[in-house]
A and B are shown apart, each in its own frame.
Chain A
Amino acid sequence: MKINSCLALIICTFLLSCERYLDNVELPEFKQKLVLNSFLSPHDSISFISVKSNKKLYGALNQQEATGSLTGILSDGSREISLIKAANGFTFRKQDMLLEEGKKYTLNISSDKGLHARASTIIPVKREVKIEIDTSRVFYDYGINTGQGWWELRADIFLTDYEGEENFYSYAVRQVIYNSLYPWYPYDFSFYPMESTVFNDNNRDGKRLYVSTVNYSDVSDDDSSNLVVYILQTDREYYTYHHSMDRFTSSGDPFTEISPAYSNVEGGLGIMASYVVDSLVFRLK
């Protein structure tokens, strides 16, 4: 037994993994960049462009990288406006720059630290997509006939893709509940998507597309309620970015293929994308 134990110990000693910091390896050099995030829509009366800095990954991590003093310009190709500074970036109002379907808009952000970032988006042209909705509602009792439990509301959303072009979509669902007994009603809440909100018409050009979402709530004592479905017709950048976010995996798992977040910002990081909105109100009760 002693011999066996000794041999086992020797084998394990040699097979033990060796882990060490790589101090003498040339790590990727940190380049500070501006990080822009903006999702523009003609629907919005005020639009926001978030601007931050990326952060170091190697070396001392105790200091935040400041963006410096920023200036921002939005151009539609024929006209430029200076953006209004806000807490974490810039804003602009509809009346300052009207966002029009089919038109290209370009953002130029600069900082006094010599950082520049530039990105563009073309606002999609809104198409008729014939939104349809089908719902089902199931009550789950906590026990047996206690009357206490939760409701599962499932919404199946259909739309017809506009044929002959590559289209990208996103969706949002909101439920509005009315009850005259409570002063704070109507109560309005959004469905939290269980899976990705973006989809496209790949291999389904011109066909009926379908997404489904489910919401759970304990709200049942309502007089009436409406379901509002929003279909966002987006540009390709919006889809690609969110799709990459859905699949994002970092380098923490050596056995998984890394899936980075998509960026369309020249000289920087982040995303500038756009969408137009169509909606359908469906009365549940």
Chain B
Amino acid sequence: MRYKPFIRFHSLAILYIFLIFTGLDENVSAQQKSRYTVSGFIREAGSGELLIGVNIYLSDHKTGTVTNTYGFYSLTLPASDSVTITASYVGYSPEIRTIALRSDMEMNFDLRSDILLAEVKVTAEREERTSQTALMSTIKVPVAKVRDVPAFLGEKDVLKVIQLMPGIQKGSEGSSGLYVRGGGPDQNLIILDDAIVYNASHLFGFFSLFNGSALKSIELTKGGFPARFGGRLSSVLEMNMKEGNKEEWQGEGGIGFISSNLTVEGPLKKNKSSLLISGRRTYADLFLRPIFKLSEEENMGYYFYDLNAKVNYDFGRRNKLYISGYFGKDKFYEKYKSSGYSEDVGFLWGNATATLRWNHLFNNRLFSNTSAVFSNYSFGIYDKYKVIEENKNYFAEYYSGIRDLSIKSDFDFLPGPEHWIKAGITGIYHLFKPYAYVEVDVPKDVNERDIDYTEGVETGIYLEDTYQQSDRVKINAGIRFTGFFTGRKNYFNPEPRLTVAWKILPDLAIKGSYASMNQYIHLLSNTGISLPTDLWVPVTDRIKPLSSRQVAAGIARDIDKHNIAISVEGYYKTMNRVLGYREGASFIELMEPSDVELPDWQDKVTAGLSWSYGAEVLIQKKKGKLTGWVGYTLSWTKMKFDSLNFGREFYARYDRRHDISVVATYKLNDHINISGTWVYGTGNAVTLPLSEYYAPYHRFETEIPAGEPDFEYYGVLYSMEAEEYGDKNNFRMKPYHRLDLGIQFHKKKKWGERTWEVSLYNAYSRLNPFFYYYDNGGGTGRLKSVSIFPIIPSFSYSFRF
């Protein structure tokens, strides 16, 4: 009943989309009898894995398209006796076919990986190039690159690789949080197989959840958002899991410094159905047990694990079904056991997602995907106490989290090479649990449950078209309507989007974009590091949705001769009603479950303005012995809150004037790869005291004592030494820079291939500041810098079979 207006609106919207597509399709069919459609799926030879973003190019027509997220493509062309179609993809040998197009036809491609064709050096004739696409501010990270880049403690980490791209910064040393074009880490929509992942890190942010072995594609959009994306202000990180090899069983695994992982995939029914399972677990708790074992009776530890699984079934050309899931948990525990009693206390937190997807091909021009998604994040503190002799139990637990149930449908309609129309609808039911407390005390007959639930429904509907207006001009235009229903208040916002690419030379394009975004849920986090206590909360009557407007302009150039792509972009982004923490608010409150107090979170936050502008340069070399990129970002991020810094504007903590990353991988020979990354960033902005002074709190006095009163006490309730501060974030920490090096030794074995990797994190042991604090020991006032990671060597062993 409460959601009736939304249901009615979106039912009409679905009907409207369907009518548009049906009408368009009939119209196209009627008008274009002399045009025929060639469509199909593009797979990886040997595994049957559908490939995303494969370029389909028709050299005769100088036009083309790319495969969608499910490997599908469609091209409608005039009838012809000879059409030459090239399918090409980075890391794969291109395939060229010439056909006579006299009727609609299905044509599937199976592309062979360059790795499988090691001895055959083929260069793709034509690939989707930076200067060709209508999109801007979009980064595709090859999964293979995640494996090549040296990593902290050898743990390959998708988010850490993304942090090396221009426009994207990390918050603090080791953190996997993303700060995209001046936005906070809660402004990134992280999607794994259509499921939203709310807390994307393990071990307080040092490692991300995403196990590269199970991933097929990684794409980050930081501006010029197509209308299909929405829900966050600053970026969309879309990741898709591999489907699993449909032809043969294979696997890969790794044994690292702190964890091991194993991925197994193979056919359940050859060429019809496959299964992929990938898992990872740390074993630091096992090694650290001797140290953490505080006494014979007491020990403590920490571990995390994650598990990805995916099953799919191919019912034929028209229908495909996918079921995928992610499950991960972190646990920190302390156990005590004596002859009298035992106690087990700890924190545990984790994500779980499950996605059911159905691909349906209505006809060779209309493709749809419908997903039903479950996503859950929870954090808990527990205390189990048992009096052994009397067999009396006490149990208390505090927990918080967010749970989503969502349904979305997306349609791809390709009436001809000039248009790629996408439309879709999404509805997410959010269940927020900002606070829940459960206490069971059997001896005292206590059975208490105090649970605070908040629910909300988030909706979105969009229509976008990628329109090839001419050989030179390509446009992506769309609109998204978003809404949020809190139960007491409805929010509804239109979000227009536009990107225009104008190719002024065959390999040089000028691009411009505009995007309007809204965000209806917020992350209440501490100031700078990712903790499991971070809470997702919705908009309310008092807390309005965040909104942003972003314009960007840039040039993109491909230098084919050297396999180099260059892009330069400038952007200006405003963000309204951004949440910040009220001065004095602290979020580090890990206590006993029964001591947890959660005052109304709305009282801890304040809303204000933020704006960011800057320029980004990305020079990429995607092929050859030497691959990698150089990224440079020049940016400014400022904020203004009525109740922070006395209403004056200030630089954001993560405002970073210069940010440089250099990533290089050199293939010395077939057995040895050398890689290195070097990063440099202007120091974080922090607030430092300038001096201290006497500050009294006034007390009203009714009478003046005889003689001259002691004004240190008279009229003073209490006094303190207050610190004088300039503007908020008035001081820069020392610049951050670091060099990581890695070397991989590959060797073919009878059963497959093994790789030894040795890496050095922070090779020249730069003591980068994590935070500063003031110290006046010995009568001298000084700043102390705390660094957490000096040089850290690691080695790992990985294998494929």
Contacts and interface: CB of A to CB of B under 8 A. Distances in A.
Contact of A254 (B587, B694, B773): B773
A81 interface: no
A98 to B, nearest CB: 17
B297 interface: no
Nearest to B687: A258
B767 A50 contact: no
B690 A31 contact: yes
A230 B688 contact: no
Contacts of B715: 39, 48
A262 interface: yes
B122 to A, nearest CB: 44
B588, B694, B709 interface centre (most CB from chain A within 10 Å): B694
A172 B699 contact: yes
A259 B759 CA distance: 42
Contacts of B788: 15, 17-18
B782 interface: yes
A49 to B, nearest CB: 9
B699, B704, B783 interface centre (most CB from chain A within 10 Å): B783
B728 A258 contact: yes
Nearest to B719: A37
A126 interface: no
Interface in B638-697: 644, 646, 687-697
Interface stretch (B142-150, B448-456, B480-488, B578-586): B578-586
A84 to B, nearest CB: 10
A250 B767 CA distance: 25
Interface in A248-273: 248-262, 269-270, 273
B698 to A, nearest CB: 5
A146 interface: no
A247 interface: yes
A86 B624 CA distance: 82
A255 B587 contact: yes
Contacts of B725: 258, 260
B781 A232 contact: no
B580, B725, B770 interface centre (most CB from chain A within 10 Å): B725
Contacts of A18: 767, 786-788, 790
A230 B286 CA distance: 64
Nearest to B714: A48
A249 B287 contact: no
Given A18-B767, A87-B711, A257-B584, A30 B690 contact: yes
B794 to A, nearest CB: 9
Interface in B187-228: none
A42 B390 CA distance: 70
Contact of B689 (A39, A57, A88, A232): A57
B753 interface: no
A283 B730 CA distance: 53
Contacts of B772: 22, 254
B15 interface: no
A28 B585 contact: no
A4 interface: yes
Contacts of B290: 1, 4-5, 8
Contact of B695 (A59, A61, A270): A270
Interface in A25-77: 25, 27-28, 30-31, 33, 35, 37, 39, 44-46, 48, 50, 52-62
A127 B773 CA distance: 47
Given A28-B690, A54-B693, A256-B527, A269 B724 contact: yes
Contact of A256 (B585, B710, B721): B585
A268 to B, nearest CB: 9
A37 B699 CA distance: 13
A174 interface: yes
B693 A252 contact: no
A52 B767 contact: no
Contact of A7 (B287, B588, B783): B287
A27 B792 CA distance: 30
A11 interface: yes
A67 to B, nearest CB: 12
Nearest to B712: A88
B722 A260 contact: yes
Contact of B781 (A54, A57, A244): A57
A25 B715 CA distance: 41
Interface string A168-205: 00101010000000000000001001000100000000
Contacts of B492: none
A166 B528 CA distance: 36
Nearest to B783: A22
A60 B779 contact: yes
A14 B792 contact: yes
B391 interface: no
B302 to A, nearest CB: 12
A23 interface: yes
A4 B774 CA distance: 38
Contacts of B790: 14, 18
B702 interface: yes
A89 B715 CA distance: 14
Contacts of A125: none
Nearest to A65: B691
Given A7-B287, A61-B780, A245-B695, A54 B711 contact: no
B362 interface: no
A39 to B, nearest CB: 5
A277 interface: yes
B584 A256 contact: yes
Nearest to B725: A260
B698 A19 contact: no
B779 A62 contact: yes
Interface string B763-774: 000010011111
Contacts of A12: 288, 291
B113 interface: no
Given A20-B767, A87-B711, A258-B725, A57 B699 contact: no
Interface string B744-777: 0000000000000000000000010011111110
B505 interface: no
A270 B695 CA distance: 7
Contact of A54 (B692, B717, B774): B692
Contacts of B585: 256-257
A251 B723 contact: yes
A238 interface: yes
Contact of A21 (B692, B714, B770, B782): B782
B691 A232 contact: no
Contacts of B588: 255-256
Nearest to B691: A54
A28 B724 CA distance: 11
A21 B784 contact: yes
A254 B726 CA distance: 17
A242 interface: yes
B695 A37 contact: yes
A273 B527 CA distance: 33
A31, A58, A86, A238 interface centre (most CB from chain B within 10 Å): A58
A8 B288 contact: yes
Contacts of A59: 780-781
Given A62-B779, A170-B700, A251-B723, A52 B693 contact: yes
B299 interface: no
Contacts of A248: 584, 695, 720, 722
B700 A277 contact: yes
Contacts of A22: 734, 772, 782-785
Nearest to A261: B722
Given A60-B780, A172-B700, A258 B693 contact: no
5 contacts: A12-B288, A20-B785, A57-B723, A254-B772, A255-B528
Given A254-B773, A256-B585, 18 more contacts: A18-B790, A21-B783, A22-B782, A28-B688, A54-B724, A57-B692, A58-B783, A59-B780, A59-B781, A87-B708, A172-B699, A245-B722, A248-B722, A255-B526, A257-B582, A258-B725, A259-B582, A262-B646
Q: Which 9 A-B pairs have the closest CB atoms?
A: A259-B583, A259-B584, A247-B584, A54-B693, A261-B722, A254-B771, A172-B700, A256-B586, A54-B691
